[in-house]
């Protein structure tokens, strides 16, 4: 477990470095192409650092507000608080903030920058459709994300993916309006400058690469959190039953967005399960492994 936590911390740092590198590379390409020199590169570097620190510091607040979560009253939601407290004692982690989301779809997520500054949020649909054992499995899954330090990289990725997409959009607009009239898109002989071509390609594919990286990291951590939940509860059938209910439920989580989709216990957006010609391509952008695979993996434990 300690090695897993150390590994996740290293991956978190690696994800930040990769995103900042892509961000700075876009700034450098634009600077060179439009004749701005290193100015845009420095600006991109400063922005990437500010966004990284800002998203790490206020990640929980941002995710909860975006999802329209409210604090769970300890009297009204006594069962939920009891489950969280018991599992936190078993896992040796501080009790996170507990929030409720008014949404009929059964779902939940964890957020925060570390176990000392974390929160979990569950939908009213989850509370209504899960029995105690199943709810315990879901809560344990979310607490495993906190325990494994998954929440830090997940919430940072939300901001950085958006930042790369925004930077790419601004870069394309800059290149469109400047278009090479004052740029270096052509060399002295009038031929296309390879650097400009590479720059255009990088600007276009950067958001796609950032999104794929975010999704890949998310899929791996969901499977690890399932195993961690069984370790906390000592009862895999509870989480298996919960995942089976989630698999049968077709309600869309309206409180989710594409930016926060990877944080939930189940793929919250509609359009999953595409088995058509482009099904394999669509799966690359899924935020979670298929529920049937997760269920089978737990049954094999």
Name the domain count of the chain.
1
Q: Where are the alpha helices (DSSP H) in the chain?
A: 2-34, 39-57, 59-66, 78-91, 124-129, 132-147, 150-178, 194-233, 236-248, 279-284, 291-299
Asked if pLDDT for residue 278 goes beyond 90, the answer is no
Q: What tens digit of pLDDT does each residue of 86-118 get? A: 999 999 999 999 999 999 999 999 988 889 989
pTM: 0.74
Q: What tens digit of pLDDT does each residue of 166-215 get? A: 666 666 666 666 554 444 445 545 444 555 565 566 667 766 766 666 66
Q: Cβ atoms within 10 A of the Cβ of 178, count?
A: 16
Concerning whether 142 is annotated as a catalytic residue, the answer is yes
Q: What does the alpha-carbon distance between residue 236 and residue 208 come to, in Å, rounded to a whole number? A: 36
Catalytic residue among 136, 142, 222, 266: 142
Positive/negative CA dihedral, 230, 232, 237, 241:
negative
- Could you tell me the residue range of the domain that residue 141 belongs to? 1-301
């Amino acid at each position: 477990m300690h090695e897993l936590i150390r590994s996740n911390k290293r991956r978190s740092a690696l994800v930040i470095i990769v995103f900042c590198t892509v961000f700075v590379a876009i700034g450098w390409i634009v600077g060179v192409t439009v004749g701005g020199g290193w100015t845009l590169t420095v600006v991109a570097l400063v922005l990437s650092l500010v966004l990284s620190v800002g998203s790490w510091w206020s990640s929980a607040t941002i995710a909860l507000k975006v999802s329209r979560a409210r604090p769970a009253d300890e009297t009204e939601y006594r069962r939920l608080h009891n489950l969280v407290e018991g599992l936190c004692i078993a896992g040796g982690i501080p009790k996170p903030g507990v929030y409720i989301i008014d949404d009929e779809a059964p779902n939940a997520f964890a957020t925060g920058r570390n176990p000392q500054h974390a929160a979990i949020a569950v939908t009213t649909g989850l509370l209504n459709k899960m029995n105690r054992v199943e709810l315990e499995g879901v809560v344990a899954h979310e607490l495993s994300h906190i325990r494994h330090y998954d929440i830090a990289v997940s919430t940072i990725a939300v901001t950085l993916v958006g930042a790369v997409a925004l930077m790419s959009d601004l870069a394309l607009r800059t290149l469109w309006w400047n278009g090479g009239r004052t740029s270096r898109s052509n060399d002295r002989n009038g031929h296309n400058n390879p650097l400009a071509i590479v720059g255009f390609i990088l600007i276009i594919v950067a958001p796609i690469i950032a999104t794929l990286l975010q999704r890949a990291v998310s899929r791996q951590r969901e499977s690890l959190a399932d195993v961690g939940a069984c370790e906390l509860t000592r009862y895999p059938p509870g989480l298996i039953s919960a995942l089976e209910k989630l698999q049968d439920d077709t309600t869309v989580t309206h409180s989710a967005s594409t930016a926060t989709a990877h944080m939930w216990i189940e793929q919250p957006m509609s359009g999953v399960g595409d088995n058509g010609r482009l099904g394999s391509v669509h799966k690359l952008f899924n935020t979670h492994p298929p529920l049937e695979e997760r269920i089978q993996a737990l049954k094999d434990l």
